[in-house]
């Protein structure tokens, strides 16, 4: 089983519009609400391919109830920790030209009592899984090195960790040496202390992470593709070209695909080809891990 940890989940409100005009009245063409957050998106993709999943994190209020109900409908084993605050809402404004404007709420403040309850639950789930995915931002109230703590706890159980976050959470998590990290190129640049990175520079930074002891590093570069690095070497896989409808969750789709390949024991080349095909299918679909399996298989071929 694979466990997903979403410490700061959200209800994703997707709003479609012809063109967003800042400072003017904007009339939406349609809106939809669904469970969101990076780890939630990973969970949705894993369940699409019938992978057993346990989902953990913090949920509160009616928004939290909606997320848990949606996960249960997908057949996910839910071990969410209830909190007093209300789970946040993230608004994604989708333009006809493929642009996505994200407006993200901060989320509830987590108390120490809630955190300790989560940690007890996390340790219990680790006894039942072989991989754990740590995704997204940290909520207010938790320590800045929480991902590092979760990585070290997983290591005590012999469980592989996949880290997909940004900023200080990424930097501190890297120090705990997860099994795999999946930054995008901007997050990698921030970790490296650079304003931006070329593809070649990104490869070099990925190799630095491998030398720190991280077994596998995957850098997502949006419409360009993916960089892969491990002890055996580094290579680039170009993205599949599709008409983009919603790019939200493409990185999460990559993470889910990589986890399934890891469990299946697939070689890096096969794993990366699957990952770029799945990310493209997501971009051409509804986003957030909702896409056509047939479209994915066609892109894979």
Catalytically annotated residues: 252
In the numeric block, the tokens 């959470």 are attached to 169
d(CA 291, CA 286): 6
d(CA 223, CA 279): 10
State the burial class of residue 198 (Cβ atoms within 10 Å of its Cβ: 0-12, 13-18, 19+): exposed
d(CA 163, CA 158): 16
Distances (CA, A) of 38 to 96, 163, 196, 276: 24, 11, 23, 17
d(CA 169, CA 164): 9
User: Residue 78 is encoded by which pair of tokens?
Assistant: 């839910």
What secondary structure letter does DSSP report for 251? H
DSSP E strand boundaries for 60-204: 77-78, 81-82, 88-95, 100-104, 131-135, 160-164, 180-181
H-helix or E-strand spanning residue 75:
none
d(CA 67, CA 35): 5
Distances (CA, A) of 87 to 12, 33, 43: 11, 13, 18
């Amino acid at each position: 089983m694979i466990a997903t940890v979403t410490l700061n989940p959200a209800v994703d409100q997707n709003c479609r519009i012809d063109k967003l005009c800042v400072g003017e009245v904007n009339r939406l063409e349609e809106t939809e609400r669904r469970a969101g957050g990076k780890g939630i998106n990973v969970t949705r993709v894993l369940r699409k391919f019938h992978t057993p999943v346990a989902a953990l994190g913090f949920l509160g209020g009616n928004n939290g109830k909606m997320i848990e109900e949606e996960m249960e409908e997908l057949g996910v084993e839910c071990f969410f920790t209830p909190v007093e605050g209300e789970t946040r809402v993230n608004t994604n404004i989708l333009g006809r030209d493929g642009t996505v404007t994200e407006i993200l709420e901060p989320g509830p403040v987590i108390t120490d009592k809630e955190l300790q309850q989560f940690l007890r639950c996390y340790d219990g789930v680790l006894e039942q899984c072989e991989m754990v995915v740590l995704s997204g931002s940290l909520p207010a109230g938790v320590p800045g090195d929480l991902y590092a703590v979760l990585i070290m706890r997983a290591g005590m159980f012999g469980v592989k960790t996949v880290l997909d976050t940004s900023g200080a959470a990424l930097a501190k998590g890297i120090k705990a040496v997860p099994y795999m990290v999946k930054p995008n190129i901007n997050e990698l640049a921030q970790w490296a202390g650079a304003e931006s990175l070329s593809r070649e520079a990104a490869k070099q930074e990925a190799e630095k992470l491998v030398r720190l002891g991280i077994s596998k590093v995957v850098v997502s570069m949006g419409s360009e593709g993916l960089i892969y690095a491990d002890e055996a070497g580094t290579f680039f896989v170009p993205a599949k070209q599709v008409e983009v409808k919603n790019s939200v969750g493409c990185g999460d789709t990559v993470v889910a695909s990589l986890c399934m390949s890891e469990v299946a024991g697939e070689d890096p080349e096969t794993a990366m080809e699957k990952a770029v095909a799945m990310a493209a299918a997501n971009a051409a679909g509804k986003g957030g891990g909702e896409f056509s399996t047939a479209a994915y298989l066609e892109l894979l071929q």
